[in-house]
Amino acid sequence: MKALKCLIVEDEPIAAGIIEDYIKLVPFLSHETTFHDPLKALHYLNENSADVIFLDLSMPHLNGKEFLSILKEKYQIILTTAHHEFGIESYDWGVVDYLLKPIPFSRFMIAVNKLRPPANAVSEAPAPLSETSQERAFRYFNVNKTMIRVFLDEIGMVESIKDYVRITTQSQTIITKGNLQEFENLMQAHGGLRIHRSYLVNLNHVEAFTTHDVIIHGKTIPVGRLYKESVLEVLKSI
């Protein structure tokens, strides 16, 4: 899926930086730019496109509600604020979600998972033949100059090893050149979830889990501290 272009409109640099860091952790989001002045953000949007706006409600010169009323186009809006009193009212403004500061990453993930993909995602990036609904999706991976076919739904986990990755299925383990970011995009529609800086797992192959690790094909895989809240949120919802 084409990444959603994100704009941050937030007058507090620290709060804006946290959202920027969160966006970088999500493969289907792309941070375009940040504005501390909402008037400059409006000027930018007159000349540039965006899919999602993370919008602070309390800003000088122009508050978030006023900013929404001026927008000429419809964007997916996620409000960010330290004030809870507009929570219920905000949904009448057509926003996707309302995040209260300080924003935990797990709550951020719940919000962004409500976002719609770009309207032109299918026309701009049609799925290759191996990912159509008529066939099981697969990829060929180069292993010692031999191209080996792996069905994506059979992948249980992917481990990062410097410039290489170890791909484990129920029947085989292969090592090929690559990185986890590529596999986050590749496995997004096939149960892929990043649980650690070095590990991505397929949720469809999780046999058991605790607050610290998951078990796939009998192997225990650690859950990274940074990913812990969001991973448990996802696993408990299955």
Domains of the chain: 4-123 (3.40.50.2300), 127-237 (2.40.50.1020)
3-state secondary structure of 21: helix
Residue 87, H or E segment: helix 87-90
- What is the arrangement of strands in the sheet containing 219-222, beginning at the earlier edge strand? 206-209, 213-216, 219-222
Determine the Cα–Cα distance for residues 177 and 164; give it in Å rounded to an integer.
4
Determine the Cα–Cα distance for residues 30 and 150; give it in Å rounded to an integer.
28
The mean pLDDT of 9-27, rounded to a whole number, is 91
User: Mean pLDDT over all residues of the chain?
Assistant: 85
Answering whether pTM is above 0.85, one says: no
Give the confidence band of 1 by pLDDT, cuts at 50, 70, 90. low
The mean pLDDT of 15-44, rounded to a whole number, is 92
Whole-Å CA distances, 111 to 23, 80, 95, 96, 161? 12, 11, 11, 7, 32
pLDDT for 144: 87
